[in-house]
């Protein structure tokens, strides 16, 4: 009897979703594993892309701040190109363009470039690295000269000054701007669905195409993106409070 009541309950919800509600939310709930997989793909690609981009951006930003001959010009050209072209175009050049190069097709690199997932990760990494490099360059330039001079007076070498003073101080100052880069990267990750990867938007497209829906899949995708961005925003707000705690007025 209880099982029958439960069945009737879900049947009523399904009928309401299909015939009364402007959004067929029952189909979204039925296909939640596909959206979960898409969210996992998006978070994994964006997270790894940002991690590797950060590893690349720090030394590149240091080269620009120190105006290393030739290398700083190369870094500037790299940042200009990848900031001046759309992420979608960069992904297409990597995924479709590299497959046309005989050298890549007949080398070990083909293991990477034949896979849409790896091509997407590479595109996310080099694109985010270009933006992060410029963010960090500005942050390192803004480190007060007094801190640097104090480190010099203590006998610190240039390497120690960067490791102990300039980079930690610059990262702290770059945090608000970098939070925007993370959010933009999450939004830009929708391009992954154009190269056969089932990300959040890809899951929404599949749902719409499978059941001939107009917008339910897109609405579900939008809600998931908003949840992820909310979590990221709250995380950065927490980090800012921790890292800038010394600047808050103290109670007397």
pLDDT digits (tens, 9 = 90+) for 45-75: 999 999 999 999 999 999 998 888 889 999 9
Q: Which residue has the tokens 């979590």?
A: 231
pLDDT digits (tens, 9 = 90+) for 208-251: 988 887 888 999 999 999 999 999 999 998 887 877 665 565 66
Whole-structure pTM over 0.85, yes or no?
yes
Residue 172 has pLDDT above 70, yes or no: yes
Q: Which of 11-25, 27-41, 97-111 has the lowest mean pLDDT?
A: 11-25
Domain extents for the chain?
A: 22-240
Contacts (Cβ under 8 Å, ≥6 apart) of 130: 78, 79, 81, 82, 83
> Which CATH number applies to 22-240?
1.10.3720.10
Contacts (Cβ under 8 Å, ≥6 apart) of 38: 198, 199, 200, 201, 202, 203, 204, 221, 224
Confidence of residue 156 (pLDDT cuts 50, 70, 90): confident
């Amino acid at each position: 009897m209880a099982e029958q009541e439960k069945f009737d309950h879900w049947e009523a919800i399904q009928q309401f979703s299909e015939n009364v509600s402007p959004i067929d939310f029952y189909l979204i709930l039925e296909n939640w594993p596909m959206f979960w997989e898409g969210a996992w793909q998006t978070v994994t690609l964006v997270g790894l892309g940002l991690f590797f981009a950060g590893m690349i951006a720090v030394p590149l930003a240091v080269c620009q701040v120190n105006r290393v001959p030739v290398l700083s010009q190369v870094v500037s050209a790299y940042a200009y190109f990848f900031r001046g072209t759309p992420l979608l175009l960069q992904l297409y050049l990597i995924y479709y363009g590299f497959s046309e190069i005989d050298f890549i097709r007949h080398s070990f690199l083909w293991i990477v470039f034949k896979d849409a997932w790896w091509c997407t990760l590479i595109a996310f990494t080099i694109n985010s690295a270009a933006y992060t490099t410029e963010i960090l360059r500005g942050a390192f330039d803004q480190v007060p000269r007094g801190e640097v001079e104090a480190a010099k007076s203590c006998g610190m070498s240039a390497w120690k000054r960067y490791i102990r003073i300039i980079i930690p101080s610059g990262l702290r100052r770059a945090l608000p701007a970098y939070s925007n880069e993370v959010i933009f990267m999450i939004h830009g990750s929708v391009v992954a669905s154009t190269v056969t990867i089932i990300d959040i938007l890809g899951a929404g497209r599949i749902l719409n195409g499978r059941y001939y829906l107009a917008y339910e899949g897109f609405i579900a995708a939008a809600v998931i993106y908003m949840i992820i961005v909310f979590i990221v925003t709250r995380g950065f707000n927490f980090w800012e409070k921790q890292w800038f705690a010394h600047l808050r007025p103290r109670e007397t």
